[in-house]
Chain A
Amino acid sequence: MTSIAIRAPRGLPALGRLLPYVLAVLAAFAVAGIAILAMGHDPLLAYRSILTTSFKTPFGFVETMHKWVPLVLQAVAFTIPLTAGKYNIGGEGQLLVGATGATAVGILLSDLPMAALLPLLIVTGTVVGGVWAGVAAWLMHRFGINEILSTVLLNFVSFGVVDYIASEVWSDPAAGHPSTIPIGDGGLLPLLGRPPMHTGVILAAVVVGVAIVWMRRSVGGYELRAVGANARAAQVHGIRVGRVAVGALVIGGAVAGLSGAIEVAGVHGKLLEGMQSNYLLLGIIIGLIARGNILAVPFVAFGIAVLEVGASAMQRSAGVPSEMVLIVEALILVFVLLSDVLAARLGRARS
């Protein structure tokens, strides 16, 4: 039950560590290309539209960055507990309750000026996400319930919460889909540039930067890694293993809650049923492709955001269903995992 199993073999130079990634991506595209060909479509046309949509127009790039925010935050929310050997599969529930908390603040205090409302909204979303994950962490710590179960089951509870808020409490009947009335203008993230990009992108980048420094350069981060590498050894050395695991889940939940608050303040301006999209799945796959290495997470997340934004373009231009992208992503992960096995075998053969 350790997370070491997905870490890359040590002692390779940087280039040698990057090479398996490149090969894994190429192999995934090659295999998916055969499938696209078998379905009677043109794989090269499909790939061109996937890979260029984000860079052809400023709009595509802004859309990609907007997509990057929830993806990278969900991946961080998964990676932090993973470092301590815990699997947080509750990111979408934490996102939704974070969004709910942010929306509640945005509606109840809609008259506040931006300087007060926006920070309050962001902080509320973050705290609520952390508390939600805290429930799962408490169930794990106090009752020994496997954290995969305690986190994932709370997702389904959060669906009910969102549905209740969006269709009973602050329902917007004109929306035609369970959704709340808009939050106050002071709660919206300011926009920058043209086409406008919301400043949640900067916020997310800062949070990811802090997470990287914290994980790699602080005592807390060290304890996290020690528990993940060998819980028994960590305990012998005086680290409170249970507390570290609970803390990791709560921090992960807080980051996921933040992603919900940013979605409300930057993208939708309200709480919306289904706003969690498939960010949980993508966050997990990003965290696993990055092999739990927080430094790699923002880059992998960007690559996945490019694929996701390109997916609908591919469906339009080449006629390939956008779900093909999910297969490509799963294949990349499988090949990254296999490259470890291959590298280990080669290393053994050489020595």
Chain B
Amino acid sequence: MNEIQEFLTLVVTAMVPYILVAQGTMLGGRVGVFNVSQEGMMTLGASVGFLVSLGTGSNLVGLVAAAGAGGVFGLVLGYMTTRLRLDQFVVGLALFFAAVGLATLLYKVVIGVTLQPPLIATLTDVRIPLLADIPVLGPVLFAQDLMVYFAFALSGFLYWLLYRTNTGLRLRSVGENPKAADSLGVDVSRARLLAATAGSMLMALGGAYLPMVYTGTFTEGIASGRGWLAIALAFFGGWRPQFILAGAAFFAGMEVLALRVQVAGVGVPHQFVSMLPYVATLLVMMFAFRWARVPAFLGRNYDRESRTAS
């Protein structure tokens, strides 16, 4: 029983980056902006989050700064793909390695090359009174750090925003049929700009979480593919916040399982176990793509003056 509880607690923690980054991807995708710079945003968020936390001594300030850095990149993505109508994948890839370069550069400029990298304090767990006393479920869900609560609350908020409000209806219409949305008075460019910015902020937050719970410091490969996996998760969750939240449990479960099996050793070389999250993702994608409903204008720019309907 204790072992299961411990495993689930780790899974819930591991879910946080997947939730944040995949919801950020989904938010942009629902208005038609297919961001592919997740891995870069996460690396940059990890670097900025770590450095600012180290400098100010406050993880909260670090998280805010990381989100700000991601927001700047998201704004650039939004501007270049809406106002300038440059190809979304090209701009996304350019931002991806600009962010990776900037992340490493910042770390080198501030910290330099050291044998013993400085460490920041990890996030503290906050017990929610009463709820945390529920057996098994309590410690797993209600005695976690604040970012866990934020990630779950965010998923609920996005569901409410997209499916229960007028704004959400407008946002979704931009991703499905921007011309129709435009003719009804929705500002397509503005919706895309805002969603791309907010989405990138979430991605950077997901990256900043990594040094604050796992490593305590920044390394270049800290995202280790989570950004790309989060794109897969957005597809897997059918670009809907509620299913992304559920799917994050699967992705995080694979990650924790791979680590656990590596430590325990089961006769399989640990290198093969480390492939598990990526292979499992490819396997589930084989089936997910059949039912996943993709926004019709995902990855396509909108030109008001273009005469073709789609």
Docked complex Cα distance between A321 and B101 (Å): 11
Q: Which residue of A has the minimal Cβ distance to B273?
A: A160
CB B144 to nearest CB in A, in angstroms, measures: 27
Asked if A338 is at the interface (CB within 8 A of a chain B CB), the reply is: yes
Residues on the B chain within 8 Å of A281, using CB? 97, 100
Q: Which residue of B has the minimal Cβ distance to A167?
A: B271
Docked complex Cα distance between A284 and B86 (Å): 17
Residues on the A chain within 8 Å of B231, using CB? 146, 148-149
Determine if B89 and A87 form an interchain contact, defined as CB atoms under 8 angstroms apart.
yes
Docked complex Cα distance between A5 and B279 (Å): 33
Q: Which residue of B has the minimal Cβ distance to A288?
A: B90
Docked complex Cα distance between A159 and B224 (Å): 11
- Chain B interface category by residue count: 35 or more
Q: Which residue of A has the minimal Cβ distance to B101?
A: A326
Determine if A288 and B299 form an interchain contact, defined as CB atoms under 8 angstroms apart.
no
Of B89, B224, B228, B279, the contact of A152 (CB 8 Å cutoff): B228
B-contacting residues, A317-349, CB 8 Å: 321, 323-324, 326-327, 329-331, 333-334, 337-338, 340-341
Docked complex Cα distance between A156 and B272 (Å): 11
Q: At the interface with chain A, which of B104-112, B187-195, B200-208?
A: B104-112
Residues on the B chain within 8 Å of A152, using CB? 225, 228
Chain A contact residues: over half helix, strand or loop, or mixed?
A: helix
A259-302 to B contact mask, C-beta < 8 Å, 1/0 = 00000000000000000000001001100100000000000000
CB B229 to nearest CB in A, in angstroms, measures: 7
Residues on the A chain within 8 Å of B36, using CB? 148
Determine if A327 and B102 form an interchain contact, defined as CB atoms under 8 angstroms apart.
yes
CB A345 to nearest CB in B, in angstroms, measures: 10
Determine if A160 and B275 form an interchain contact, defined as CB atoms under 8 angstroms apart.
yes
Asked if A44 is at the interface (CB within 8 A of a chain B CB), the reply is: no
Docked complex Cα distance between A87 and B232 (Å): 15
Docked complex Cα distance between A2 and B108 (Å): 38
Contact A149:B232 (CB < 8 A) given known A139-B286, A143-B285, A281-B97:
yes
Determine if A337 and B90 form an interchain contact, defined as CB atoms under 8 angstroms apart.
yes
Asked if B84 is at the interface (CB within 8 A of a chain A CB), the reply is: yes
B17-53 to A contact mask, C-beta < 8 Å, 1/0 = 0000000000000000000100000000000000000
Contact A321:B94 (CB < 8 A) given known A1-B299, A164-B269:
no
Of B97, B224, B279, B285, the contact of A326 (CB 8 Å cutoff): B97
Determine if B108 and A321 form an interchain contact, defined as CB atoms under 8 angstroms apart.
yes
Docked complex Cα distance between A154 and B228 (Å): 11
CB B127 to nearest CB in A, in angstroms, measures: 36
Residues on the B chain within 8 Å of A167, using CB? 271
Asked if B274 is at the interface (CB within 8 A of a chain A CB), the reply is: yes
Q: List 18 A-B contacts (CB under 8 A).
A: A1-B300, A139-B286, A145-B289, A148-B231, A149-B232, A149-B235, A153-B228, A153-B278, A160-B271, A281-B97, A288-B93, A324-B105, A327-B101, A329-B97, A329-B101, A333-B94, A334-B94, A334-B98
- Show the binding face of A for B, using Cβ within 8 Å: 1-3, 5-6, 39, 87, 89, 139, 143-146, 148-150, 152-157, 159-161, 163-164, 167-168, 281, 284-285, 288, 321, 323-324, 326-327, 329-331, 333-334, 337-338, 340-341
